Amino acid sequence: MAFDEARYRREVLDAGLPVTEDLRTRYQLPQRLDKNAVAEAVAAVRACWRRSRSRLKYRAVIEQLEAGYLIHRPLLDAAAAGEPQGLRAALEAHGRRAETDRARLRAALDEAAGGLGMLAESTVAELAAAHRVHEDRVRDLLPALGLRAAEPDPLPRSVPHPAYARCAGHLEVLGLRHLGDFLATGTPGGRAGRPVRVFGAFPAGPPAVEAAARRWGRLPHGAAHTAAQAVIAAVRGVLADQGPAGLARILLHELAVPLRTLHAARATPATLLAHAVEELSVDGDDAPRLVFAVLHEAAGDPVAQRLRRLAADGRLTEAAAVAERLPPGSLAEDARALAEHVRGKLAEARGLVDRARRLPPAEADRAWDLLDQAEAAARDLPGTDTVRRGLAVRPVSGLTATADGAGITVRWRHSPSTRGEPEYVLLRTEQRPPRDAADGTVLPPASPRATSYRDGSPPVCVPLYYAVAVRRTAEPGSAASPLAVGGPVVHWPEITGARLSPEDRRITARWTCHDRARRVEVVRTAPDGEQVPVAARRDGFTDDGLVNGTTYRYHVRVGYLTDDGRSVRTEGLRLTATPLAPPDPVTGLDIRRTDDHLVAHLDPPPGAEVRLYGFGAAPPWPAGTRLSTAELPARPIPAQPAPEGLRFAPPGRPTVVLAVTVAGERAVVGAHAVAAARTLGALSLTRHGGTGVTVVFDWPPDSGEEVEVTWRTPGEAGEQRRTVGRAAYRHEGGVRLPAADGAGVEVEVRPVALLGGLTSHGPPNTAVLPPRAEAGYRLERHGLPGRRTVTAVFTARSPVRAERLLLVRSRGPLWPLEPADGDVLAEAADVTLGPDRDVKLSARLVRGPGGRLRCFAVGEGLVLRDPPQHTLKVT
Amino acid sequence: MAVYGIDLGTTYSCVARIDDVGRPTVLRNLEGADTTPSVVYFESPDSVVVGQSAKDATVLDPEHVVQLIKRDMGETVPREFHGRAYTPEEISARILRKLVDDAKAADGDEARDVVISVPAYFGLAERDATRKAGEIAGLRVLDVVAEPIAAALDYGALEGDEKRGDRAVLVYDLGGGTFDTTVLTLSGRELTVLCTDGAKELGGSDFDDRVVVHLVERFRERFPDVDDPLSDPQSETQLRKDAEEAKKALSFRERYTVRVMHRGRVEAVELTRGLVEELTGDLIERTVDITRRTVELAAERGVSSFDDVLLVGGATKMPAVAAALRTQFGFEPRLHNPDLAVARGAALYALDRAAYIVSSGELPAGQAPDVPETGLAHRPYEISTVASRGYGIQVTDVDTGHEYVTHLVHANDTLPASVTDDFYTIRDGQRRVRIRVMEQAGAVESEELEHNTEVAHGTLKIPPGKPARWPFECVFTLDTSGLLTVVATERETSEQIEISLQIGGLSQEAVDEARVAMSRQRIG
């Protein structure tokens, strides 16, 4: 089903807010939710939104529609993908909801009418807003409910004529209810015999008034006579000034007064109605209208409110019409001012439309702007769309159509018209130019404002004409511009899909040529300029006897026969190829580390390209295997030529690097080697007890699964080696190496990778643990208790240097583990211990709580051994 | 003794006489004013105060003060003061007494013969009551004269150039309590009343009422916690005085401020001429309406334009009156002695009546009134007027038993009018026919009993043995002075019975009694 933009505009955009919740209307969905139809409809609707966004009056609606699309999109997408269940369920749910809403709305309408059979326009609008439906929907429901929308009749708030101002009191004196009684009777307390008509009928004309005057004139002179004469005088005055209509207004006022009083006393509409009919003798047809007017004036002047709302909505035409329908002088002061303002604005807007209509076609864009301004002022201005549709749009210029053998490129320059979302419609016809915007094949440019189009598959061998029409899409139905036509141009297709395959002293070509082609002509040009025709088939050629390494150029042209028998050759394609000898494999490959790079050392075969490919295991082909380049992995290792070979970045993990020689499309597999893994972290050596050393390092996950550890004692020959797996390393909490007590150790660790049967060692890390020196001490005590002196005697079997020696007394009963745990009694710095070079530290022992003595030594590799503990007590 | 013309007004009264050169002269009262408030203060059982002092007393002792008594003339509505009931005639008599006593003080003559003016639309009862009021005051009422006729006479309508040709005059008389409007034609010495209409309760005091109500409303807005000033007779009286002052002032000024005082609170209320016109617009409108009716009737009788439109009565000094007439009818009305014209015209008419009585020998020489010696030959007026109301008798429809009034003389019929008609008995052997003379009570004639007032009644004897529908003749005569006679003739015996009509509420005996009672009171 084609998208009917005018209908969509009428049903959805012009309807205004709130936007319909019916997805079928909102997205113009087809009856059967066929997936393609749904997709098309949604796309067309969204395109319509985009086009119409430029119209201010639709902006708010379209914003809501676009926001709503985000919610509905999953359902629509699913339906477009062939799964309409969700959308169908949503439509059904909406149908049910709509039925419930309608029932609720009907109930609300009945309630609002209050048995009077009519609703104020403002009430209709409020109900529509409350139920989120358009006002027209509400109006459509009214007849079925026996209701109608009406403006409440304006009721005079005060006595409509000054002459009648005191007559209420006079009627009171006469015992009458209203003017109707007065005019119908002639005796105090009289009652009108017939129901009183209030609307559409005048209570009395001059003859009736004179008749009443005669009846009332018969009363004896007195209060009643005076009152009656006063009323008669007033009625005559009103009649003379305002005619029977003035009397009608007075009657209306008199009838409204008691109803107002009742209404103020919270009487229901039914009570008011009964009062009007039974107590005031108001005609049964007029009473609901009268009560309706009374009920609505209490909430403020409904007409003024409606005027205000319409003016705020920008619906000035309707507002002016509402004001026009009212009798003159019935509007309050402020509402009258508003009505005047509305009329002024409307006249201004109409003036803008007139100006737009009168502008010459060359100023159509300006006219468009004027119409925008007019609509901004009054969005319901009639005739605006008609003027818009009549606005001229200027054509594009500089249209060219160029054939290049593969297709036709059409180019043009923008239309000077910019307003109203101009869109370019591209047309193509054969043999003759298009006549109008609907003539010919419509071609879809990439975007509505594109200025070029590539026609990739035009009809061949026939004169083609291209034309561009411009249309303002923001106003559907508007006239298109005159056509800008280019052509004729003929598409003579070149060969397509041409592929040259260089081989050993031979070049093979394959292609496809159009069915209409009569022949293909190929001319080979050697580097020296020699041109030789090559025998070609319809689908390619094979050119033998060429020199490897020489680049040959081929010019391929296609010959056609025109309808009138002329022979035509295309411009032709120029192709280049170089025949090559078969490649030689790389025989030796060695990968070495240089700085932070690896270098593949190899002997490159002459005249061929060597590529390196990485594998996580042994290469799939043995060396010497010949392959087509298409069989090789997609990406070789990026490598730079270096003097000694190819230089490349270290791979992230151990990799087998394969050297492949490539010539043209042929390749041969060469030698391979392993590229080592990444380096390990720095080593950390720790003496483990008295006889072992623990090596700990950072072992990255991609640095292989094994390391080789080599260690030796400095100054001694021979080294030991051990291979440790990752699991063992974790189990031992490092690598534990045996070492003589206190001896120094040098350790080297390097990762080991085993790939494709090849072992590779990574870069080594080394560390050294220096040897350890031992010293001892004893404590000697002198003097009597209480004046005791203690002396620490430090000894060493081999010369050892101590930076500090300390004698420490603990502050409590606990053994001091470090000097800070007690008070330093004595100390010496920078001393050397050795055989016969004992060092003594003496201090007095004062009485106190501290119960332990201990000495500490600080120096590189220096270990101070404590004497037996019992000697360390403070005694 | 001289003859006097008295304007017995609703709010003000005035007395005039013809001076030595034949011109009407207003006699000032003892307070030195041309007009005397028609207010009576029963100060004590034997002392009555009339005029400005009585009006002043309203503020202090309103319970014993009577105002606007003219509106009650013809009605049986006695008022009681100090244990005695006073009819409206008696109260009016005290006003008349005050006027003539002051006149005597002014010119030294005892006033005896007077002509009293009445509104044109006054019916028989009202006219009779006025006449009787004069009698109670000890005066000889030569006649009652319609106020517009008096005003026209004062305007000089029948004086001077007789070659002026025929003229039509509209008199718009808005007094203190009543309003009437009359169309007259003048031709030489002949004055013809074409038609007249009016309202009994429409006058300057109604205008004052509106102003009073406005003042009270303003006061109550300002002091909502204070009770209504109208609940206090003294405050109300003061307000009435203030309102009258304001109304008068605003005839000349644009603004006037009244200080409303009640219960010790004071609110200054500013009145503007426009505001007062707005407050009283409907009253003016009523006068216009009645005027329009009169004008239309005059047009039916051949007078469609007026050479003069006279404004008479104190209330016509309000600019709004002339403006309304100008706007509504295109008249160019002129104020002509609005306060004094009626009394002056009545004096002229009194002179005319006295001269007629003397020349006609209607009264014996000893009782004839004194006609002033003006040195001028008196040429009598020829005045023809119209009936102010319709008159008829009550009849019974023998078929339905329905009682209604059949009018023999209609309002605005030219006087004197004499109508003869046959009536019938309704039962076999009926011996008496009770004749009730009915006067139209409203502005429009109606045959319904309730729309008519009985002004007189009498009984006709029928010979015995007569069947039902036995005819008898009734002659119904109304003269120019409004004197009504009904003569019924029984056909078979030709017996004529002049029905003695008892008009109004007071019999002659009651009048005499009242006169005696009044003589015992001191009136000042």
Domain(s) labelled CATH 3.90.640.10 in chain B stretch across 204-281
How many H-runs (helices) and E-runs (strands) does chain B carry?
11, 28
Residues 6+ apart with CB under 8 A from A471: A393, A422, A423, A425, A437, A478, A479, A480, A481
The nearest alpha carbon in chain A to B446 belongs to A218
Cβ atoms within 10 Å of A132's Cβ, excluding its own: 13
User: Three-class SS of residue A425?
Assistant: strand
b/e A221-234 (16+ beta carbons within 10 angstroms → b): beebbbbbbbbbbb
pLDDT tens, position by position, B358-386: 777 777 766 767 776 665 556 677 787 88
- Residue B96's pLDDT is 93
What CA–CA distance (Å, rounded) separates A799 from A769?
20
Look up the pTM and report it: 0.54
Question: Could you tell me the sign of the dihedral formed by the alpha carbons of A116, A122, A125, A126, in that order?
Answer: negative
What CA–CA distance (Å, rounded) separates A857 from A776?
10
Domain(s) labelled CATH 2.60.34.10 in chain B stretch across 391-493
C-alpha distance across the termini of chain A, in Å: 114
A597 secondary structure, DSSP code: E
The nearest alpha carbon in chain A to B278 belongs to A162
What's the rounded mean pLDDT across residues B480-495? 74
- Residue A384's pLDDT is 85
- Residue B14's pLDDT is 93
CB B286 within 8 A of CB B206: no
Chain B CB contacts of A170 below 8 Å:
none
Alpha-carbon distance A293 to nearest alpha carbon in chain B (angstroms):
29
The nearest alpha carbon in chain A to B126 belongs to A221
Chain B CB contacts of A233 below 8 Å:
282, 285-286, 288-290
Residue A403: closest CA among A310, A326, A466: A466
Structure tokens, B497: 């019975």
Residues 6+ apart with CB under 8 A from B269: B214, B215, B218, B219, B257, B258, B259, B260
What CA–CA distance (Å, rounded) separates B124 from A656?
150
- Residue B372's pLDDT is 65
Does the domain at B391-493 match CATH 3.90.1150.10? Answer given as no
Pick A163's closest partner by Cβ from B199, B282, B451: B282
> CATH class for domain B204-281?
alpha beta
Question: What are the per-10-residue average pLDDT scores of chain A (875 residues)?
Answer: 80 81 87 86 87 77 88 88 86 84 83 82 82 81 86 82 85 89 88 85 84 86 85 87 88 89 84 89 88 76 74 81 76 77 88 90 89 83 85 89 88 88 89 87 85 88 90 83 88 87 85 87 88 87 85 90 84 86 81 79 78 83 84 84 82 81 83 75 77 84 81 80 87 83 82 74 81 85 79 87 89 83 88 87 78 86 84 78
Beta-carbon separation of B448 and A218 below 8 A: yes
CB B30 within 8 A of CB B42: no
Beta-carbon separation of B285 and A163 below 8 A: yes
Q: Which residue has the higher pLDDT, B498 or A267?
A: A267
The nearest alpha carbon in chain A to B447 belongs to A218
Question: Could you tell me the sign of the dihedral formed by the alpha carbons of A337, A338, A342, A343, in that order?
Answer: negative
Q: Which of B68, B444, B452 is the best mutation test for A, with the most CBs of A within 10 A?
A: B444
Structure tokens, B289: 């309406």
pLDDT tens, position by position, A339-379: 888 888 889 889 999 999 898 988 888 998 898 888 888 87
Residue B349: closest CA among B376, B381, B372: B381
What CA–CA distance (Å, rounded) separates A839 from A806?
11
What CA–CA distance (Å, rounded) separates A757 from A762?
16
Beta-carbon separation of B453 and A220 below 8 A: yes
Which range (A94-108, A763-777, B249-263, B489-503) has the least confidence? B489-503
Alpha-carbon distance A222 to nearest alpha carbon in chain B (angstroms):
8
CB B173 within 8 A of CB B312: yes
What CA–CA distance (Å, rounded) separates B195 from B417?
15
Amino acid at A576: T
Beta-carbon separation of B448 and A165 below 8 A: no
3-state secondary structure A257-297: HHHHHHHHCCCCHHHHHHHHHHHCCECCCHHHHHHHHHHHH
pLDDT tens, position by position, B23-39: 888 998 888 889 999 99
pLDDT tens, position by position, A674-729: 776 667 778 888 877 667 888 888 887 777 788 889 988 877 777 888 888 888 88
pLDDT tens, position by position, B382-436: 787 888 888 888 888 888 888 899 888 888 888 888 888 888 888 888 888 888 8
What CA–CA distance (Å, rounded) separates B283 from B318?
12
Tell which CATH architecture fits domain B1-155+337-383+504-524.
2-Layer Sandwich (3.30)
Chain B CB contacts of A217 below 8 Å:
442-444
What CA–CA distance (Å, rounded) separates A673 from A182?
127
User: Three-class SS of residue A771?
Assistant: coil
The nearest alpha carbon in chain B to A240 belongs to B328
**For a pLDDT cut of 90, what percent of chain B falls above it?**
15
CB A397 within 8 A of CB A412: yes
Question: Could you tell me the sign of the dihedral formed by the alpha carbons of A810, A816, A821, A826, in that order?
Answer: positive
pLDDT at B162 over 60: no
- Residue B39's pLDDT is 92
Given pLDDT bands bounded at 50, 70 and 90, which one contains residue B481? low
What CA–CA distance (Å, rounded) separates A186 from A182?
7
The number of C-alpha atoms within 13 Å of B508 and in the hemisphere containing its C-beta is 3
Amino acid at A47: A
Beta A645-648 vs B334-335: how paired, if at all?
unpaired
CB A368 within 8 A of CB A348: no
Residue ranges of alpha helices (H) inside A9-117 are 23-26, 35-52, 56-80, 85-113
Beta-carbon separation of A214 and B444 below 8 A: yes
Structure tokens, B288: 């216009």
Q: Got the DSSP string for A544-572?
A: ESPPTT--EEEEEEEEEE-TTS-EEE---
Cα–Cα distance list, B332 to A171, B251, B329 (Å): 35, 18, 9
DSSP element (H, E) containing B177: none
Q: What is the ipTM of this complex?
A: 0.76
Chain A CB contacts of B448 below 8 Å:
218
b/e A619-632 (16+ beta carbons within 10 angstroms → b): bebebeeebeeeeb
Question: Could you tell me the sign of the dihedral formed by the alpha carbons of B245, B251, B256, B262, in that order?
Answer: positive
The nearest alpha carbon in chain B to A163 belongs to B282
What CA–CA distance (Å, rounded) separates A750 from B81?
148
Structure tokens, B32: 């030195």
Per 3-state DSSP, what percentage of chain A is helix, strand, and coil (rounded to 5)? 35, 30, 35
Beta-carbon separation of B442 and A226 below 8 A: no
What CA–CA distance (Å, rounded) separates B345 from B157?
10
Alpha-carbon distance A209 to nearest alpha carbon in chain B (angstroms):
13
pLDDT at B1 over 70: no
Alpha-carbon distance B490 to nearest alpha carbon in chain A (angstroms):
33
Longest alpha-carbon distance in chain B: 80
Question: Chain A residues contacting B, CB < 8 Å?
Answer: 162-167, 213-223, 225-226, 229-230, 232-234, 236-237
Cα–Cα distance list, A149 to A87, A101, A263, A762 (Å): 36, 20, 22, 94
What CA–CA distance (Å, rounded) separates A247 from A180?
10
Residue B141: closest CA among B490, B494, B481: B481
Beta-carbon separation of B281 and A230 below 8 A: no
Q: Which residue has the higher pLDDT, A303 or B354?
A: B354
Mutual angle of helices B508-519 and B124-136, in 10-degree steps: 40
What CA–CA distance (Å, rounded) separates A838 from A799?
10
Q: Which of B10, B207, B286, B327 is the best mutation test for A, with the most CBs of A within 10 A?
A: B286
Alpha-carbon distance A186 to nearest alpha carbon in chain B (angstroms):
11
What CA–CA distance (Å, rounded) separates B284 from B282?
5
Cβ atoms within 10 Å of A438's Cβ, excluding its own: 11
- Residue A694's pLDDT is 87
Tell me the β-bridge partners of A247.
none
Alpha-carbon distance A279 to nearest alpha carbon in chain B (angstroms):
28
Chain B CB contacts of A230 below 8 Å:
282, 286
What CA–CA distance (Å, rounded) separates A120 from A402?
67
